[in-house]
Amino acid sequence: MLKLFSGRANPALAEKICSYLGIPLGAIEISNFSDGEIYVQIQENVRGRDVFVVQSICHPCNDSLVELLIIIDALKRASAKRITAVIPYYGYARQDRKVQPRVALTAKLLSDLISTAGTDRILTMDLHAGQIQGFFNIPVDHLFAAPVLIDYIRKKNYEDLVVVAPDAGGVERARAFARRIESPMAIIDKRREEKNVAHIMHVIGDVADRRCVIVDDIVDTAGTLAESASALVRQGALSVSACCTHPVLSGQAIERIERSPLEEVIVTDTIPLDSKRSNKIKVLSVANLLGEAIRRIHNETSVSSLFD
């Protein structure tokens, strides 16, 4: 029998997933002791059940992570048959390789923590780098928000559309996006001088008199996004929009988006926006996509066929 529980990071998304599956959200108590320690109690029988836990590792990311680990431990000790961690946004993923001496690989560290807690399987979306799947020694189902984002873009009926990769690392993602909508592609040549600070060098590709859509996995401080939009406008783009799966939106992100030439920033609900609002931001839900993947995992049918 399928059971789905939610942490406190993104309960609205969990509710939508349950609505798609036609099941109630599992009963769970999560609270904090006065010193901040997290308390979890599963309030229904899960012995022998196929259990899914929805929890994005988003702000406050450290609390969200520890809460996920504690929920998994509680389910394991309650004799759940299989525990799948549904992590719409896998935080700490940007530190996935050593680009400087003596730095941590947090993406690998988290995979070890989540596995050790008792997780049997991972379901996640738009990892910052595909190789993070290999950090786990348990099965990982890696979904992409592209079908949801592409469907929205297609309905716009843009002519002369160009898909733009915001940096060299995003070329593969942008190329797949461009292939699906049969559009040409351009690339932003970006040099990052320090954390959350990027300098746009130049645009590779023809964007003059075209409508540009920047495709990325994360919009964090929106500095790169705003600079990219300005660079494209300087090269003669008619308009600039952006599709970003995970709306981290930290620091001055909202202000930068408002001041930028971006017409629209299309994001998904892998991370709740709460008070982070802008008329330029359009939120699409990935609940049905996650819900269908959960159904297929539970029924032991193909998840990859979702993208055929």
3-class DSSP string for 81-102: CEEEEEECCCCCCCCCCCCCCC
pLDDT tens readout for residues 169-185 = 889 899 999 999 999 99
Average pLDDT over residues 271-300: 92
The torsion angles phi and psi of 40, rounded to 5 degrees, stand at -130, 135
The per-residue pLDDT for 305 is: 80
For residue 127, pLDDT beyond 80: yes
pLDDT tens readout for residues 249-269 = 999 999 999 999 999 999 999
Q: Mark 154-178 as b/e (b = at least 16 C-beta within 10 Å).
A: eeeebeebbbbbbbeebeebbeebb
Q: Could you tell me which residues come within 8 angstroms of residue 201 by beta carbon, excluding any fewer than 6 positions away?
A: 189, 190, 191
Average pLDDT, the chain: 92
Determine how β-strand 185-194 pairs with β-strand 197-204.
antiparallel
Average pLDDT over residues 263-279: 90
Of 145, 211, 216, 150, nearest to 181 (Cα)?
150
List the single range of 31-35, 66-70, 301-305 with lowest mean pLDDT: 301-305
For residue 294, pLDDT beyond 60: yes
Average pLDDT over residues 132-157: 92
Q: How confident is the model at residue 132 (pLDDT cuts 50, 70, 90)?
A: confident
pLDDT tens readout for residues 95-116 = 888 888 999 999 999 999 999 9
For residue 10, pLDDT beyond 60: yes
- Report the percent of the chain where pLDDT is more than 70: 96
Contact 276, 6 (CB under 8 A): no
The per-residue pLDDT for 196 is: 52
Average pLDDT over residues 126-143: 91
For the annotated catalytic residues, the residue numbers are: 190
The per-residue pLDDT for 199 is: 62
pLDDT tens readout for residues 216-233 = 999 999 988 999 999 999
Can the peptide bond before residue 60 be classed as cis, meaning omega within 30 degrees of 0?
A: yes
- Bridge partners (DSSP) of residue 88 are none
For residue 78, pLDDT beyond 90: yes
The per-residue pLDDT for 130 is: 81
Answer left, alpha or beta for residue 266, where phi above 0 means left and psi between -120 and 50 means alpha.
Answer: beta
The per-residue pLDDT for 189 is: 85
Average pLDDT over residues 59-87: 97
The per-residue pLDDT for 262 is: 96
For residue 194, pLDDT beyond 80: no
The per-residue pLDDT for 212 is: 96
For residue 131, pLDDT beyond 90: no
Contact 134, 308 (CB under 8 A): no
